[in-house]
Amino acid sequence: MSSPAGATAEDTARASSRVLLVDDDPELRRAIARTLERSGFIVITAEDGQRAAVLLSEESFDVVLTDVAMPKMGGIELLRVARERDLEMPVLLMTGAPDVNSAIEAVRHGACEYVIKPFESARLVSLVRRAVDLSRL
């Protein structure tokens, strides 16, 4: 399989990168998934942390992108679950209500990024690309 004209080996590797996107807002989840898919990522979605935890136990992902505040299981708890399964997998947390305590917990459990909503699509794609690059090191 050849790479598209102008694509680097790094671009090709990213194109097969699997992102687990977790957010309880279906419209936002669809919008983010479309944005990431247009940038070449394979995106698997979950509506809450519990479903995401099941997916993490069944499949492998290069990056987890999760909302902090969700019913059933929030992003910080999902970050802990992800760390139990894989210490190196980058986890990016998104929040519409930044809070010092959740930021401290995110850092304590090794979150790669703490992204405040709303954010620009290009910035999110850049952060996910950087996380994929970290996971491939």
Q: Tokens for 117?
A: 């909503």
More confident residue, 59 or 16: 59
Give the pTM.
Answer: 0.89
Q: Tokens for 121?
A: 């699509």
Residue 13 has pLDDT above 60, yes or no: no
- The β-bridge partners of 20 are 44, 64
Q: What is the pLDDT of residues 75-105, one digit of tens each?
A: 999 999 999 999 999 999 999 999 999 999 9
DSSP 48: S
The Cα–Cα gap between 25 and 62 comes to 22
The Cα–Cα gap between 114 and 95 comes to 8
Which residues 6+ apart lie within 8 Å of 120 measured at CB?
none
How high is the mean pLDDT of the chain? 91
**Contact 23/67 with Cβ under 8 angstroms?**
yes
